[in-house]
Amino acid sequence: MLVTTSYSPTSEATERAKRIAGELALSYVPRGTSSVRRLGERYRESEFLLVTERELHYYGDGDTPLFFHPSLSLVRVKRLMNGENDGLVKISGAAPGDRVVDCTAGLGSDAIVLSYAVGETGEVTAIESEPALYTVVREGLLTYDSPLKPFEAAMRRVRMKLADHLSVLRELPDRSVDIVYFDPMFRRPALESSAIGPLRQVANHAPLAEESIREALRVARKSVVLKENKDSGEFERLGFPEMPRSRTKIAYGVIHP
């Protein structure tokens, strides 16, 4: 994977691209007048991180880039601000001051909602194992501007961590966080769409290990939450109680340690 910029980049964009390349131990290549595809042919590389003035794009095998967008998290935070419920916040019991570990950050939508729920006195650590996805989301959380300032503040408070979540959980002391959250949804064909396609190229498709749940139960004080396809069999495999019938394809499971 290489790092480059958009055409005619500013000095700030160039320095940002070089910084990202250094952090990930990748090579930075000047864009010049070449297309991304032409750069790929020249350097025999199919993956690129492309730094624009305000965004970071990931290009993989297809022509559609992956970039950060808050998606439905903005709508969900607006609802919380209006006093409405959010399914994840409700089932996890997230409250101001809580410490949360999101073990499968993805594009960060759930981490943002949880960050708003736990407030300025809380803490959300979002773990992502894939370097390209981690970098796109981390940079997006730091730079995406929103006119809804409480939402923007919630984004800025999310702390991204590039790691395997099981390794992180193993190092945490007993009962050291309030909530541990898992959302291994990106490996499911049910989510295939033009919007999710670029994400599936870089997401970790491995199923959750039973040890991850055991470690989560060891470190969590309040709840361990799993978001999955209600008919996937993962709730039963990983020891979550039978869930109430859901009218949607997606369901939450919770274990209280």
pLDDT tens string 132-166: 899 999 999 999 999 999 999 999 999 999 999 99
Rounded Cα distance between 128 and 102, Å, is: 9
pTM for the structure as a whole: 0.90
Rounded Cα distance between 68 and 215, Å, is: 30
Rounded Cα distance between 159 and 49, Å, is: 21
- pLDDT, position 207: 86
- Residue 30's Cβ-count burial label (10 Å; 0-12, 13-18, 19+) is exposed
Rounded Cα distance between 245 and 51, Å, is: 44
Q: Which amino acid is at 152?
A: E
- pLDDT, position 181: 98
Rounded Cα distance between 158 and 247, Å, is: 31
- pLDDT, position 189: 45
- pLDDT, position 53: 86
Ranges of the chain with pLDDT below 50: 187, 189-195
**What 3 state SS string does 55-99 have?**
CEEEECCCCCCECCCCCCHHHHHHHHHCCCCCHHHHHHCCCCCCE
pLDDT by residue (tens digit) across 231-253?
888 999 999 986 666 677 888 99
